Amino acid sequence: MAPFNNKRPDVPKLFSLAALLLLVTGMVWGVTGGLQYLMPGFLKPFLSFEKVRPLHVSSVVFWIILGAMGAVLTYLQQHTGKKIASTKLLKAQFFLFVITVLVILISYFAGIFGGREYWEFHPLLSLPIAIGWILFLINFLRSLGGLKNQPVYVWMWLTGIVFFLFTFLESYLWVLPYFRDHVVKDMTIQWKSYGSMVGSWNMLLYGSSIFLMDKINNHKKYSYSKIAFVLYFTGLFNLMFNWGHHIYTLPTHPHIKHISYAVSMTELFILGRIIYSWRATLTEARKNFYIISYRFLAAADLWIFLTLVLAIAMSVPAINVYTHGTHITVAHTMGATIGINSFILLAISFDLLNDTCQSFEPFKKLFSRGYWLANVSLLVFWLSLIGAGVLKARWQMSQQQEVFQDMMRQLRPFFALFLISGTTLLCGIVMIVYPLLRNQWVCYFKNNSKKTARNVYSNTPGERISAAVLFAINE
Amino acid sequence: MLADRQKVLVISLLIISFLLYSFSIYLNPPEKKEPVTLLSTKGKLVWQQYNCVACHQVYGLGGYLGPDLTNVYSHKGAAYIKVFLANGTATMPNFHLSDEDIAALTAYLQQIDASGSADPRSYTIQPDGTIQQ
Ligand code: HEM
């Protein structure tokens, strides 16, 4: 690609850029929440934990969702060799999402909540998200053409998109009194939808990472293979039926728990397959480690392994009794969303935002340090949450339970470690992301006066906003 | 390699079973004998309006800064709950709730409490790894 090209970044790229911004700001909210764990009452008068937690969780969840959409939209074009069917729909989708996410974050500051875990915003704000997602589905189908003889990642993208829509709508059944009046019914359906929703965005991300691996390897042997489809169907089977492991302790229908217990154990097959192909992965890793995207895929592989081991253990009800309701659950959730989802997305970001407007050479050291800092920090972060969780599990099971606050006080060393490693994790990620954003800035703004940059972005008001956002990060 | 026809067959089977499973749950949902009243249903909406779940868990699900509230009603009683709701604590904000909202929240916590126990000490673990409540 020519240096200093002054063409506009295409829309899928804007998804990735917006996503990266949400990642960094979302982690700042995470650190704020970590501070509140350590200093009870910190910022309580105006930014109490019930605001900080959704600011953090929604920001990072939208990092994953926007990032996944950017990845699928870009790779779909590379796969078909054609442009996305409708640029208009694409832009509408982008602005629906970006504006809604902004309104959601602002509403949290104002203390306006829908009060459901993960989707803590007002239920009305789910409408533009659902509409944006439907636009995504329409554009995807129109651009794809058909399902005939498609590689596994196309199947994964399509199932991911369809199931996200289904589960997102399902998670709003509570607005009907029939679904929300009874606690157990409400929570059963809530966690049914959440469990499958996570599976849906994983389909989008794993599909994209398979595409990227093919691209790095320069062949498509894997994505048409039988094993790829067997693993895909196993994943889909789990997406549909394993969600009950979130609610083993809820007095819901026993068969829901039995089904999910049995289905979750099929993940052992995926685990076995990972161990089986470990050696091959390692040699490949050595060969490809110089490729930045590849490094994140290698790190994600390790985290898939660690997360899967923890997940399978937690899917055994007899073990879940101990881990449920403790920070081991948080370790699992953040381990997966950072170590797997975020690392895959970073791999993809380096692939998507790779315009060579500026040499990467001066940033190599910074990047490498950031990469290792992030990985080591994440391990400490994860272990500190597991440590806190083990102590809380002991408290939950002890016959003479001391008061909640006294138990929390005993967990403080772990919370301190959590906060420190969380902060260094943030630093590591910033060191990784900075060269990327800086490169984008050079591509589109530097050596073009601001005026030119504005000219470049003068087509629509929305593009001017994105330009302003890019300026804001870099100045 | 799997043929397209085989793939479509597998995915159709999966989707049909998923839909059957989903609708069996919607139409025959797990309901416990909970005292659902007008006040407690209002209490649920107040609970969501103030985002109590960011700090508290119900059946172990929610944020982890504060305690699980599933059985606080039977363990500590209505009067105890009302003191917390009216004043807040070092960590929990005082939301300046109206008496009506406090009554509604208390009724909701009573409803949750009646639906079952979230105390892991009260479960028995079976040899096959399942638990009985
Ligand atoms: C890419 C980075 C991150 C992602 C994707 C992420 C994701 C998440 C998710 C999904 C949850 C909900 C957990 C659950 O309900 O079990 C969560 C909670 C939380 N995260 Fe993060 N996180 C990230 C980084 C951080 C960092 C750097 C910190 C700093 C200490 C942090 C602190 C917290 C806190 C305090 C909670 C709330 C725990 C609670 O419920 O009490 N996170 N995060």
Terminal-to-terminal C-alpha distance of chain A: 25
- Cα–ligand 1 centroid distance for A461 (angstroms): 34
Q: Cβ of A182 and B118 within 8 Å? A: no
| Identity of the residue in A37, A188, A261 whose CB atom sits nearest the CB atom of B65 | A37
Amino acid letter for position A286? R
Q: How far apart are CA B85 and CA B90, in angstroms?
A: 13
Q: Worst-scoring range by mean pLDDT, A89-98, A218-227, A270-279?
A: A270-279
Q: Which of A60, A246, A323, A332 to mutate to test the pocket of ligand 1 (most atoms within 8 A of CB)?
A: A60
Give the DSSP letter string of A225-263: SHHHHHHHHHHHHHHHH-GGGG-TTS---HHHHHHHHHH
Q: Which residues pair with A336 in a beta bridge?
A: none
Q: What is the arithmetic mean of pLDDT over A149-173?
A: 97
| Kind plus residue range of the DSSP H or E element containing A208 | helix A183-217
Helix residue ranges per DSSP H, A324-363: 327-334, 343-352
- φ, ψ of residue B131 to 5 degrees: the values are -125, 155
Q: How far apart are CA A325 and CA A114, in angstroms?
A: 22
Q: How far apart are CA A118 and CA A352, in angstroms?
A: 28
Q: How far apart are CA B99 and CA B108, in angstroms?
A: 14
How many beta-carbon contacts under 8 Å exist across A and B?
A: 182
Going by C-beta distance under 8 Å and a sequence separation of 6 or more, which residues neighbour residue B45? none
Contact residues, chain B, for A257 at CB < 8 Å: 130
| Identity of the residue in B54, B59, B112 whose CB atom sits nearest the CB atom of A53 | B54
Looking at residue A454, its pLDDT comes to 35
- Short-list B47, B66, B51, CA closest to B111: B47
Tokens of A158: 């399509």
Helix residue ranges per DSSP H, chain B: 4-27, 38-49, 72-76, 78-87, 99-115
pLDDT (tens digit per residue) in B17-27: 999 999 999 99
Q: Which residues pair with B62 in a beta bridge?
A: B57
Please determine, looking at this structure, whether the domain spanning B38-122 carries the CATH number 1.10.760.10: yes
Q: A246: how many CB neighbours lie within 10 A of its CB?
A: 25
Q: How far apart are CA A378 and CA A272, in angstroms?
A: 24
Rg of chain B's alpha carbons, rounded to an integer?
A: 21
Q: Does the structure show a pLDDT above 90 at A417?
A: yes
Q: What is the arithmetic mean of pLDDT over A165-174?
A: 98
CB A91 within 8 A of CB A460: yes
Q: Does the structure show a pLDDT above 80 at A383?
A: yes
pLDDT (tens digit per residue) in A69-116: 999 999 999 999 999 999 999 999 999 999 999 999 999 999 999 999
Q: Worst-scoring range by mean pLDDT, A299-308, A406-415, B28-37, B69-78?
A: B28-37
Classify strands B124-125 and B131-132 as parallel, antiparallel or unpaired.
Answer: antiparallel
Region class of A447: left (phi > 0), else alpha (psi between -120 and 50), else beta = left
Amino acid letter for position A231? L
Q: Which residues pair with B132 in a beta bridge?
A: B124
Mutate to test the interface with A, among B33, B36, B131, B132 (most CBs of A within 10 A): B131
Give the DSSP letter string of A74-134: HHHHHHHTS--S-HHHHHHHHHHHHHHHHHHHHHHHTT-----SS--S-GGGHHHHHHHHH
Angle at CA of residue A86, ends A82 and A91, nearest 5° = 120
Question: Domain boundaries in chain B?
Answer: 4-30, 38-122
pLDDT (tens digit per residue) in B29-84: 887 778 899 999 999 999 999 999 999 999 999 999 999 999 999 999 999 999 99
CA separation, residue A80 to residues A86, A209, A216 (Å): 14, 17, 18
- Cα–ligand 1 centroid distance for A56 (angstroms): 7
Residue A7 DSSP label: P
- Cα–ligand 1 centroid distance for A53 (angstroms): 8
Q: Does the structure show a pLDDT above 80 at A458?
A: no
Query: Token match 């796969």: residue?
Result: A79
Average pLDDT for chain A: 89
pLDDT (tens digit per residue) in B86-130: 999 999 999 999 999 999 999 999 999 999 999 999 888 888 888
| Kind plus residue range of the DSSP H or E element containing B58 | strand B57-58
Task: Say what percent of chain A tops pLDDT 70.
Answer: 89
| Identity of the residue in B57, B90, B129 whose CB atom sits nearest the CB atom of A317 | B129
Looking at residue A468, its pLDDT comes to 43
- φ, ψ of residue B64 to 5 degrees: the values are -115, 10
Going by C-beta distance under 8 Å and a sequence separation of 6 or more, which residues neighbour residue A148? B4
pTM of this prediction exceeds 0.90:
yes
Q: Please, which pLDDT band fits residue A359 given cuts at 50, 70 and 90? A: confident
- Short-list A130, A92, A126, A81, CA closest to A14: A92
Going by C-beta distance under 8 Å and a sequence separation of 6 or more, which residues neighbour residue A175? A123
The rounded Cα A333 to chain-centroid distance in angstroms is: 10
Residue A46 DSSP label: T
Q: How far apart are CA B116 and CA A250, in angstroms?
A: 8
Tokens of A148: 């005939």
Contact residues, chain B, for A322 at CB < 8 Å: 120
Q: Cβ of B123 and A120 within 8 Å? A: no
Q: Which of A330, A346, A383, A426 to mutate to test the pocket of ligand 1 (most atoms within 8 A of CB)?
A: A330
Tokens of A72: 């699928």
CB of residue A428 inside a 6 A radius of ligand 1: no
Amino acid letter for position A157? W
| Kind plus residue range of the DSSP H or E element containing A164 | helix A152-170
